[in-house]
Structure 1
Amino acid sequence: MYRIFISHSWSYSDQYNKILSFLKEEIGLFYNHSVPQDDPIHTNGTDWDLQNAIEAKVKGCSCVIILAGVYATYSKWIQKEIAMAKKYNKPIIAVECWGAERTSSVVKESATTIVGWNTKSICNAVKKYSV
């Protein structure tokens, strides 16, 4: 079974939900290591607690999917998640959103592979790079 962590911002939950639908359509069953908005990580309110909880999720996943939107360049959490993925040798699948004029060089430079915004590209990358 694929164990997938999808790095995302709750501000862009539509994109996160669309990736979930791509995965369900093509792969079927998988374990979602992500932190959805409707099931947040409960901590004592410190970044350290949240970071440790996210790191545990990344450590246990097969691959990390990161949306390569330009917002990712400025997100401290995505940068931390990239560092976590590298620490545990997790493949990073960067997804370039359909119609995006600008994408994050930070994400693309860290990626194991860069794919387009469609079911086949994302799911084929998950199947190929998941360990």
Structure 2
Amino acid sequence: MFEDERDDKIYNLIITNGVDLRNEYGQFTEKLFSKVDFLWKESISGSYANAGDEFYQKVDRIILLAGLYNDNKEVFEELVNAGEKYNIPMVLVRPLGLEEVPEFLEEKAATIVGWNANCIIDSIKDAPETM
């Protein structure tokens, strides 16, 4: 990799989690870990609705795993509201093996991506800062 292409930023992510019958969260984080040149950490809150300014001001991207939406609608709504309030770009990841995403999430996302590790990283890095 050329020195001027090197990205030393550590991306602070919120990744949707919760009821996950197909282990999409685990598979998604494996994709992130597989890209050793992508630096990231995860912010987690017991209640995203009650997490305050200090918590959200450190977050770079919100990752919405669309395959988890039906079983975790409340968490998704809290994160979408926070993303809009704090101008945090939201990256929507299609359900594993499917193309369709919930329309509500598609309208709110800065970008939509599938399960290719390189495309995921590019989407995180290139997501527009404001919507």
**Pairwise same-fold verdict (TM > 0.5):** yes
Determine which of 78, 81, 92 is the counterpart of 2:79.
Answer: 81
1-structure distance, mates of 2:53, 2:27: 24
Query: Structure 2: 5+ residue runs without aligned partners?
Result: 1-9
* 1:72, distance to aligned residue in structure 2 (A): 4.3
Matched residue of 1:52: which SS? coil
1-structure distance, mates of 2:52, 2:28: 19
Query: Structure 1: 5+ residue runs without aligned partners?
Result: 36-40, 42-48
Between the two proteins, the alignment pairs up a number of residues equal to: 119
2-structure distance, mates of 1:57, 1:100: 32
Q: Flag the structure with higher helix content.
A: 1
Determine which of 21, 30, 39 is the counterpart of 1:29.
Answer: 39
CA contact (8 A) 2:20 2:68 kept: no
Determine which of 12, 25, 28 is the counterpart of 1:19.
Answer: 28
The equivalent of 1:7 in structure 2 is 16
CA contact (8 A) 2:90 2:110 kept: yes
* 1:59, distance to aligned residue in structure 2 (A): 3.6
CA contact (8 A) 1:95 1:115 kept: yes
2-structure distance, mates of 1:15, 1:83: 23
TM-score w.r.t. length of structure 1? 0.74
**Pairwise CA RMSD:** 2.7
Percentage of matched positions with identical amino acids = 24
